[in-house]
Amino acid sequence: MPIPRPSIPPGAALPAGILLLAVPLVAVGQFRGIALAATIGFAAVLAGHLRAGGRLARPGRTALLALLPLLWCLVSAAWAPAPALAATTALVMGGFILLGSLACGAVSTPAPGEADTILRRLAWGLGIAILLALLDHLVGGALRAGIRGMRDVPGTLSFSLKPAVSTLAVLLPVVPFLRGIPRAAQAALVLGGLLTAFLLPAESAKIAIVAGLLAAGAAAWIGPRIARAIGAVLAVGFLAAPVLVGAMLPRLPSLETMQPSAAHRILIWDFALSRIAERPVLGWGGEAARTIPGGQDRFDAATLDRYGLTSDFSRAWFGRKEAQRLPLHTHNAPIQVWLELGGVGAALVALLMLGLGAAAAAVGPAGAGVLAAAATVGMLSYGIWQEWWIGLLLVAALALTALRRSAAPDSGAAPRPR
């Protein structure tokens, strides 16, 4: 008698739950795997949705707004230093965003009870990731070294947990608003996430996790205006970034007492502003930060003097070949947008920020928290084209879509993702 083979139930709920469970764990083990996990997860969500007889939803307004800067990046390949790279980045990121948007559309269709189940998987993923990150910290990185097949633990391995803490910062604002999760468990996750962030070397993520939780709390108290205000502030920030940063830098005190990595970022911004001034309208082209003229040089003595970096330690630190004027990206999203896509790109991204503010307001307080946390990380850390970072943001959008669906009446008519 043949043994019946177990079948995977159709629908988007199971693969979406697995994806939200897996992403925090991948962030701890090897954060670069988030892009692959998100791609496979989104495809599985769509496959399950289609198996259940669902239809593909049209991309929402926010997704369409996100495609506009990518379209301009594609156009900028005409003058970019690496045209093929600029075009490839625009097309790959555009496809990634469309895939994520379609997956969000699929997740907006399950019954609210199924959406709650999806989000419980996220809670489990965050809880396990927090425990693993703390354990790895206690054993000096040996856990992740073993996962990566390393015999010895490199001294720099502890710093590679920064993306894991950023992942916690972006996803943690969802936790206080999960239905069916005991308040004690929610509090434990939030406090555990805060403890993890403050124990590990991830300064920007520390700021982000606090900003996200405070924004979520403010939105729960005041209402959707908080999310819209965050979107508006971000829009102004992108439009005025060269003016604002250019006015701030000369007024800074000596950077001598600052962590060298933080001082390095400020000097990177100083150099990037000088290049932005050369091509303020169109920019240097997509992915130009990697190959910008002078970017691989080290800072001269006059620049170090201007920022008070005069000690022997500072001169030695900035004399290293790694302390380039622009290593890969600017560690600031608005400045990178201006550098590569110019004022035109900044205007398109400003429209996207307004759209994100409106979309976050429609979700509720968690939307404001996720937007604030993601914006904080984006202002201080990663490049705008890093696949794992874009994948994390799309996964956060999926979680917010499920959260919005879980709060909807069980009428069969789901709110359309924005």
SS3 198: helix
Classify residue 98: in a domain, yes or no: no
Q: CA–CA separation, 297 vs 318, rounded Å? A: 11
Do residues 155 and 210 both lie within one domain? yes
Classify residue 188: in a domain, yes or no: yes
Q: Answer whether residue 6 shows pLDDT above 50.
A: no
Residue 7 is predicted with a pLDDT of: 45
Classify residue 369: in a domain, yes or no: no
Task: Please tell me the total count of domains within the chain.
Answer: 2
Q: What percent of the chain has pLDDT over 70?
A: 91
Q: CA–CA separation, 385 vs 167, rounded Å? A: 17
Do residues 339 and 396 both lie within one domain? no
Residues spanned by the domain of 321: 61-92+224-363
Do residues 329 and 397 both lie within one domain? no
Do residues 47 and 70 both lie within one domain? no
Helices assigned H by DSSP within 249-311: 260-276, 301-306
Classify residue 246: in a domain, yes or no: yes
Classify residue 418: in a domain, yes or no: no
Q: How confident is the model at residue 353 (pLDDT cuts 50, 70, 90)?
A: very high
Q: Which range has the worst mean pLDDT, 171-175, 258-262, 359-363? A: 258-262
Do residues 259 and 345 both lie within one domain? yes
Average pLDDT of span 68-93? 97
Classify residue 330: in a domain, yes or no: yes
Mean pLDDT, rounded, of the chain: 90
Average pLDDT of span 77-104? 96
Instruction: State the burial class of residue 184 (Cβ atoms within 10 Å of its Cβ: 0-12, 13-18, 19+).
Output: exposed
Residues 277-317 pLDDT 10s:
999 999 999 999 998 998 889 999 999 999 999 898 999 99
Do residues 40 and 156 both lie within one domain? yes
Do residues 21 and 117 both lie within one domain? yes
Do residues 282 and 320 both lie within one domain? yes
Do residues 350 and 232 both lie within one domain? yes
Q: Which two tokens stand for residue 231?
A: 């979107």
Q: Which of 343, 363, 383 is the last residue of a domain?
A: 363
Q: How confident is the model at residue 326 (pLDDT cuts 50, 70, 90)?
A: confident
Do residues 212 and 295 both lie within one domain? no
Average pLDDT of span 78-92? 96
Radius of gyration of the chain, Cα coordinates, nearest whole angstrom: 22
Q: Which range has the worst mean pLDDT, 132-136, 196-200, 230-234, 410-414? A: 410-414
Classify residue 82: in a domain, yes or no: yes
Q: Which two tokens stand for residue 280?
A: 């303020």
Classify residue 417: in a domain, yes or no: no
Helices assigned H by DSSP within 256-407: 260-276, 301-306, 312-318, 333-363, 365-380, 387-406
Residue type, 364: G
Do residues 67 and 197 both lie within one domain? no
Of the two residues 295 and 354, the one the predictor is more confident about is 354
Q: Which residue has the tokens 């001034």?
A: 277
Do residues 118 and 16 both lie within one domain? yes
Q: CA–CA separation, 348 vs 353, rounded Å? A: 9
Residues 112-171 pLDDT 10s:
788 899 999 999 999 999 999 988 888 776 777 777 667 666 666 656 688 999 999 999
Q: Hey, which bits of 109-169 come out as E strands? A: none
